[in-house]
Structure 1
Amino acid sequence: MNQPTRTLDVQSFIDGERFSPCQWLILTLCFLAFAADGFDNAAIGYIVPALIRDWGVARDALGSVMSAALLGVGIGALAAGPLADRVGRKTVLVLSIACIGVWSLAAAQAHTIGVLLMFRFLTGLGLGAAMPTGITLTSEYAPERIRGVVVNSMICGFSCGMVIGGAASAWLIPHAGWKSVLIAGGVGPCLIALLVAVAMPESAQFLAVRQGTHARIARILKRIAPQQQFDNCRFVASQRGEPARGAALALVLSRRYLPRTLLLWAAYFLTLVVYYLLVNWMPTLFHDAGFDASRSALVTSLFPLGGVIGTVITGWLMDRFDANRTITFAYVLAALLVFIVGRSVGSAPVFFGVLIFLCGMVLTSAATSTSAYPARVYPTQARATGVAWVLGVGRTGAVAGAFLGGELLTLGWRAADVFGLLAAPTLLAGGAVYAVSICLSHARGEEEPTTAAVKHS
């Protein structure tokens, strides 16, 4: 066997190459996985009125069905990270997308609240596992110079899926009943899982920290740069000067990483409290404010539509300016717009629609960028775990937001009051993200004297 004659840093190699058709394929498949998540999140909200009519159940009983999926998402994310760091990103992604499809199809056959709740929880496990795995995989194949816009564009699949889910539900429910929405939400992920299994490569960085994977890595990198030769290479995964030893979760919770971990958890938790309260209850809030059903649905759909555009713009800005400050600024602007929306509920329809669009644009971009940001602050061995635990802990905020919205409506809170309240946690989330940059600066400051000492010893 030939001995390696040169060492090749996988990430540095990817950073130096053009964005190839192979990487476009990875971006597209992960985008579709996120679209399945977004479709599911929108669809369940739209079938609630039909369930109330068909089953004769109270509104608050279906709040538990909404929260069951969110709870499953949190648990799925927490479990998926360590698993993806152990067995591979692709394996976990295929299983999670298949889980979404199978249990969504099963939910379409439910005839009681209890059975529907169980299947929604199981669907949530797949949804939760797919998101951090997709973010990690896309991030590891994105060149550093365009990583922000690539990862954020992929996460736009969630907002696109929400738009499609709303439009599909509006047509399917009157023509084929609410079960057809869940069937559509099951068939799609099953097909996506098959595509991922056949066409998606495993993460080259993940393979680079394991033994006996030279041939697999060479084949993958050959798809990115066909003109290159890798016969005598030793592949490594760069850690950017940061040591990464031990179990993935232990590393994420270690003394070195714990401050940034807790801040990221807090930021994403607060973000999802705000986001899911609005996503789940905005149509009801506007209906209670005097909007008719069609106007309420139209205005609400502008929120995720704005998110698609805002997420791409924010990713582009993250690549050209400091990523942390870009996200922090998005939060500050989002808090301001959330407050203004609350004071503008009775304003002219066009003006109010523009405000909702802009609010969705900055709040969604802040949320998606925060979910992608952890991939920049954890090393390869713990990256999937770090991302997954941020998303998993944050998803408890989604559950809290869904319940909080129901409680505030029960107490008689108006749209203006709810939006005014939500400006505060939005601003706090921005402060937590900004504090992560302080932790990173402090960690780099500790490394420099150590490096200097080594050089002079």
Structure 2
Amino acid sequence: MQPTGKLDLESIIDEGPVTGLQISIFLLCGLVAMVDGFDTQAIAFVAPEIMAAWGAAPSAFGPVFGAGLLGGLLGALAFGAAGDRFGRKVTLSCAVLVFSVASLLTPFAHSTAALSILRFITGIGLGGALPSFISLASEYAPKRLRSTLVGAMFCGFPLGAVLGGAGSALLIPAFGWKSVFIAGGMLPLIILPAFILLVPESVRYLALQNDHAAIARILRRLDAESRWNGESDCRAAMPHSPVSSLFTQGRATATFLLWIAFFLSLLLTYFLINWIPVVARTNGLDIGKAVLAVAMLNLGAVAGCIMLGRLADRFGPTRVIGCAYLAGAMAISAIGLVGWSPGLLYLTSFVAGAFSIGAQMCTVALCAVFYETGLRATGIGWAMGIGRTGAIAGPVMGGVLLGDGVAPSILFAIAGATSVGAALAVLVLGRLIQRRKRNLQPHDGVHEDTLSHSVTRGPLKRASGSEAFPH
């Protein structure tokens, strides 16, 4: 029986107001996401300049692009597991340091082989940062606002790509291509000290470690120590976060569905980023209009993510995300039909970004909510890693289809079909959770319209970081 007026740790975070400390955490994680987005697409901004400077053929840059994506895949897997074992803050700090140093070393490369190695290392850091900053933000977000806040934080990623494109357009003519990598390396090093000083370790992760002294210090900063009953209610710790745990206790089907959604949505995202400019140029538009169409795609993703996140918190994430993917499929299909008109191309790209890529960003928040604290970074890391294989496949698929003479209208209809596939995966996941909800008895403190995201077999238990997971 807890003392009157006292709350457990979960209730303090989930039911309390959003404090200045939490806002600082979301903002700094968002800044890390922004520099991650900048550095991820930096090579695309400067590749034409490097080709001209080195006299290299475009085909020589295939391994350079692939090395960065492969590094991102491996980084997400490795750093995701490390985040669950060693903590979000230290793992994220190390990942940021890796991609900062690798970016700063990139101007010293004088061959495509050296550039490929540096992009591989940069990719490890970039991919490795994702699971930790997503986990950290989600674990400080109140349950009622989690999709909104995590989605808004992750908007830093496409926003970083937009600012990176604009910044590169200014830096390259003035200072050369090397300045883009110097900026990409210096910005995170400027942010990192503020992050280390201001952002605490995840309070939910500390609960798994039974570090009550550290929890008390953080609750003091949240002005909530006096309301804590001294209990963390985080008993389902998995100290070594084995990947096999993603497939135990009824998680297997949901894990596979999340992987399918991430694979298809990232395939779609990188397909659009790479092939919208090609379609625009094929239809006679100049390079400026082609680049602006991609910027509209990213801006749409930012707007859509914020809108969809708010709707997801109100109506349930799987329903909102699934419907958004379906709406996005229609806009994507339309891109192949309107490439001759700049205005229509900008509009359809914005709408496609708002629904399909906005839904993909909200799927990140969905993944963070689904896995309990002891598995969250591992679950996100593996989902993002599987998604990176889709990111590699998307541009390749477009190239193969165009090489076979497929018309743009058919090409983008096929891309729209991948958005439909992602929608089906998310909607089936929602049905799975809804079915399990009907088969389980409600647990005290869990609303009848929600289900613990741990999706355990047997009686419904309050899992570590037991955020309720609406269908």
* Pair in the same fold by TM > 0.5: yes
Q: Is 2:429 the counterpart of 1:436?
A: yes
CA deviation after TM superposition for structure 1 residue 446, in Å: 4.2
Q: Is 2:305 the counterpart of 1:306?
A: no
Letter in 2 for 1:210: Q
Matched residues in 2 for 1:245 and 1:39: separation?
33
CA deviation after TM superposition for structure 1 residue 417, in Å: 3.1
Matched residues in 1 for 2:354 and 2:139: separation?
26
Q: Is 2:380 the counterpart of 1:381?
A: no
Q: Which aligned pairs between 1:288-367 and structure 2 lie closer than 5 A?
A: 288-347=282-341, 349-367=342-360
Matched residues in 2 for 1:339 and 1:200: separation?
43
Q: What is the CA deviation profile of residues 399-437 of structure 1, one whole-angstrom value per residue up to 9, with x for unaligned ones?
A: 111322333344444433321220111101110011111
Residue number among 254, 277, 292 corresponding to 2:271 in the alignment = 277
Matched residues in 2 for 1:427 and 1:256: separation?
26
- The 8 Å contact of residues 99 and 126 in structure 2, kept in 1 or not, is answered as yes
- The 8 Å contact of residues 243 and 378 in structure 2, kept in 1 or not, is answered as yes
Sort the Cα spacing of 1:330 and 1:50 in 2 relative to 1 into closer, same or farther, 3 A. Answer: same
Matched residues in 1 for 2:94 and 2:43: separation?
22
CA deviation after TM superposition for structure 1 residue 29, in Å: 0.9
CA deviation after TM superposition for structure 1 residue 244, in Å: 6.7
Letter in 2 for 1:74: L
Letter in 1 for 2:271: L
Letter in 2 for 1:67: G
SS at match of 1:225: coil
The aligned residue for residue 423 of structure 1 is: 416
TM-score (norm 2): 0.89
Matched residues in 1 for 2:387 and 2:97: separation?
23
Q: What is the CA deviation profile of residues 192-238 of structure 1, one whole-angstrom value per residue up to 9, with x for unaligned ones?
A: 22222221100000010113x111101111211257355x6233337
The aligned residue for residue 455 of structure 1 is: none
- The 8 Å contact of residues 156 and 311 in structure 1, kept in 2 or not, is answered as yes
Question: Which sits farther off after the overlay, 324-333 or 396-405?
Answer: 396-405
CA deviation after TM superposition for structure 1 residue 245, in Å: 8.8
Q: Is 2:232 the counterpart of 1:235?
A: yes
- The 8 Å contact of residues 207 and 232 in structure 2, kept in 1 or not, is answered as yes
CA deviation after TM superposition for structure 1 residue 282, in Å: 2.5
The aligned residue for residue 262 of structure 2 is: 268
Question: Which sits farther off after the overlay, 192-201 or 143-152?
Answer: 192-201
Matched residues in 2 for 1:93 and 1:227: separation?
27
Matched residues in 1 for 2:189 and 2:96: separation?
7
Q: What is the CA deviation profile of residues 150-207 of structure 1, one whole-angstrom value per residue up to 9, with x for unaligned ones?
A: 0000000011101100001111111111111111111111222222222110000001
Q: Is 2:362 the counterpart of 1:369?
A: yes
Structure 1 gap segments, 5+ residues each: 453-457
Q: Which aligned pairs between 1:42-121 and structure 2 lie closer than 5 A?
A: 42-121=41-120
CA deviation after TM superposition for structure 1 residue 300, in Å: 2.0
Identity %: 38
The aligned residue for residue 445 of structure 2 is: none
SS at match of 2:388: helix
- The 8 Å contact of residues 45 and 280 in structure 1, kept in 2 or not, is answered as no
CA deviation after TM superposition for structure 1 residue 65, in Å: 1.2
SS at match of 1:189: helix
Structure 2 gap segments, 5+ residues each: 443-457, 461-471
Sort the Cα spacing of 1:64 and 1:280 in 2 relative to 1 into closer, same or farther, 3 A. Answer: farther
The aligned residue for residue 396 of structure 1 is: 389
Sort the Cα spacing of 1:405 and 1:51 in 2 relative to 1 into closer, same or farther, 3 A. Answer: farther
Question: Which sits farther off after the overlay, 438-447 or 87-96?
Answer: 438-447
Sort the Cα spacing of 1:405 and 1:109 in 2 relative to 1 into closer, same or farther, 3 A. Answer: farther
Sort the Cα spacing of 1:281 and 1:107 in 2 relative to 1 into closer, same or farther, 3 A. Answer: farther
Matched residues in 1 for 2:247 and 2:191: separation?
34
Matched residues in 1 for 2:41 and 2:93: separation?
22
Sort the Cα spacing of 1:323 and 1:310 in 2 relative to 1 into closer, same or farther, 3 A. Answer: same
Matched residues in 2 for 1:438 and 1:184: separation?
46
Matched residues in 1 for 2:279 and 2:65: separation?
17
Letter in 1 for 2:213: A
The aligned residue for residue 158 of structure 2 is: 159
- The 8 Å contact of residues 37 and 158 in structure 2, kept in 1 or not, is answered as yes
Matched residues in 2 for 1:444 and 1:226: separation?
32
Q: What is the CA deviation profile of residues 274-321 of structure 1, one whole-angstrom value per residue up to 9, with x for unaligned ones?
A: 111211332233222211122212222111011111110011101111
The aligned residue for residue 144 of structure 1 is: 143
CA RMSD of aligned residues (A): 2.1
- The 8 Å contact of residues 7 and 227 in structure 2, kept in 1 or not, is answered as no
- The 8 Å contact of residues 245 and 251 in structure 1, kept in 2 or not, is answered as no
- The 8 Å contact of residues 73 and 384 in structure 2, kept in 1 or not, is answered as yes
Q: Is 2:212 the counterpart of 1:214?
A: yes
Matched residues in 2 for 1:255 and 1:221: separation?
32
The aligned residue for residue 454 of structure 2 is: none
CA deviation after TM superposition for structure 1 residue 339, in Å: 0.6
Letter in 2 for 1:250: S
Matched residues in 1 for 2:408 and 2:174: separation?
32
Q: What is the CA deviation profile of residues 14-41 of structure 1, one whole-angstrom value per residue up to 9, with x for unaligned ones?
A: 1121100000011011101110121123
Q: Which has the higher contact order (CA 8 A, sep 6+)?
A: 1
- The 8 Å contact of residues 285 and 414 in structure 1, kept in 2 or not, is answered as no
Sort the Cα spacing of 1:50 and 1:245 in 2 relative to 1 into closer, same or farther, 3 A. Answer: closer
Q: What is the CA deviation profile of residues 61-90 of structure 1, one whole-angstrom value per residue up to 9, with x for unaligned ones?
A: 212211211111111111122211111010
Question: How many aligned residue pairs are there?
Answer: 443
- The 8 Å contact of residues 67 and 402 in structure 1, kept in 2 or not, is answered as no
- The 8 Å contact of residues 327 and 369 in structure 1, kept in 2 or not, is answered as yes
CA deviation after TM superposition for structure 1 residue 98, in Å: 1.1
CA deviation after TM superposition for structure 1 residue 441, in Å: 2.5
- The 8 Å contact of residues 338 and 423 in structure 1, kept in 2 or not, is answered as yes
- The 8 Å contact of residues 332 and 416 in structure 2, kept in 1 or not, is answered as yes
SS at match of 2:338: coil
Sort the Cα spacing of 1:309 and 1:247 in 2 relative to 1 into closer, same or farther, 3 A. Answer: closer
Matched residues in 2 for 1:342 and 1:48: separation?
26
The aligned residue for residue 407 of structure 1 is: 400
Letter in 2 for 1:13: I
SS at match of 1:124: helix
